[in-house]
Amino acid sequence: MLDRLGPNWAKFRSSVWRARLGAFLCGALAVPAFAPFGLWPLALLSLLGLLALLQGQRPRRALLLGLAWGLGLNLPGLWWIHVSMTQFGGINLPMAVVLVGLLCLYLSLFPALACGLLARLWPVSDWRRYLVGLPLLWLLADWGLGHLLTGFPWLWLGYSQIDTPLAGFAPLLGVQGVTLALLLCVAGLLLAARQRRWPWLLLPLGLFGVGALLKPIAWTQDGKPLKFALMQGNIPQAMKWDPAMVRPTLLRYMDMSRLNQDADVIIWPESAVPALENEVPEFLVNVDKAMRFNNTGFITGIQVMEPDTERFYNALLGLGQMDQDELEEYQFGHANRYYKHHLLPIGEFVPFGDLLRPLAPFFNLPMSSFSRGEAVQPNLLVQGHHFAPAICYEIAFSDELRRNVNADTHYIVTVSNDTWFGTSIGPWQHMSIARMRALELGKPVLRATNSGVTVAIDAKGEVMKTLPQFEEGVLRASVAPAQGQTPYNRLGSAPLLLLLALGWLLGRWRRPEEAD
């Protein structure tokens, strides 16, 4: 008997670990579907492989398979985070591996829970499981991923489809509407293969067809283009906060700007002024006067300390030509500014700072004690146009940005400093997320960065011009403003929630009594 049990147990254990390894590899298969690779069909294959492995699994095993899939996606997809830890944060590589691994483990809990609940609530592999249970639970998991503990909605699967017809659903339902369409396509393919009923293939074909019809629609109206000059100073990160580099940095940006005074709007990147606003008042007054003299609008990143509260903010200032009828000159504390609302954990605020800061320089990075600005703030007014701001990480939070984009918002301006992440894929993923915001909200995006990826994106999410990374340069682009609102801009996620609620009712209306 023991002779029989031994081989059987070994075979059983081997099959379990093979399934988990398969789920991990399926997750890793999705990584090249995102920028900069753009191999979008791999996202379909990744989900198909995961769902095939989940068939017939009990909830606990399904949860572990979902966890393995999430680790396969997040470990290679977010490995670039270690660059800021090892190159700039004083953390050795083994410790960085542990920290990135813990983050990826946390992020992987969300698809794990979706898979475990799918096996418990929809144990039968029929159409209800794939057309109702899968989208509902996956999108709820994505919601948790984007909101809990400040949220990290980075590798949502919808971003992998930015260059496919499915992206046509973004102006209607947001990026999660694109994820929903992708999940339904996978469901149709799986049902067709499992039940050998080829009419199920009409579902993915229909979704791709509808998306292709939606994508050319102009949800907002163009106006007369403005000429933009986006500055990419390429200041080395190790030198950026050196007090001796303040003057050379400002001179570099001023020299670049003087050569581009024919632009309607000049934009400097995040923290381009490496000093507090109240430390360089004379410089800002002179820049404001020079820009007004040349009839040029100006936006720059800077840090602000409010004297009354002694709170620090990561900010954008609008200077220069604000409006033809606006003659107010710059003064400290003027209203044409934006304070970053959604701060980056560790980089801009440190949870449990008293415990973590003594452990390593990584927990005490420059400017890591910011306060939050208000969730909804007025647009910047530059050259008579309204700019909805998003500083760096904020561009990943679609609903937060949506609340600051109005019918009379003409552009989205986002500034960043992705130098923290070197030559990794992180900055390209970041740029792709900015493209999705343009498509969702029907507004062009101007993205100025310290070292790339600096880019101009039109109101349909298409890249107009970009600069090479890690080179000093100026991106010149004529970009038309956009007025009006997309359905997603007006209604947010309400239509998507309604669809999910209707799907839940449909799926629970009649329970299947047995598996196919």
Tell me which of 26, 104, 215, 270 is the catalytic residue. 270
The phi, psi pair for 82, rounded to 5°, reads -65, -20
**Rounded Cα gap, residues 77 and 80, in angstroms:** 8
Q: How many CB atoms lie within 10 A of CB 284?
A: 21
Catalytic-residue membership of 270 = yes
CA dihedral 218, 220, 222, 226 (to 10 degrees): -120
Q: Is 115 a catalytic residue?
A: no
> Is 392 designated active site?
yes
Instruction: Residue 117: name the closest of 35, 60, 67, 41 by CA.
Output: 60
Q: Are strands 265-267 and 297-306 parallel, antiparallel or unpaired?
A: parallel
Q: Is 376 left (phi over 0), alpha (psi -120 to 50) or beta?
A: beta
3-state secondary structure of 225: coil
- Catalytic residue chosen out of the listed positions 26, 115, 215, 340: 340
Q: Classify 312 in phi/psi space as left (phi over 0), alpha (psi -120 to 50) or beta.
A: beta
CB-based contacts of 458: which residues, under 8 Å, 6+ apart? 438, 444, 464, 479, 480
Which residue in 26, 115, 185, 392 is the catalytic one?
Answer: 392
Peptide bond into 405 cis (omega under 30): no
Cβ atoms < 10 Å from Cβ of 436: 25
CA 482, distance to chain mean position in Å, is 22
By annotation, the residues acting in catalysis are 270, 340, 392
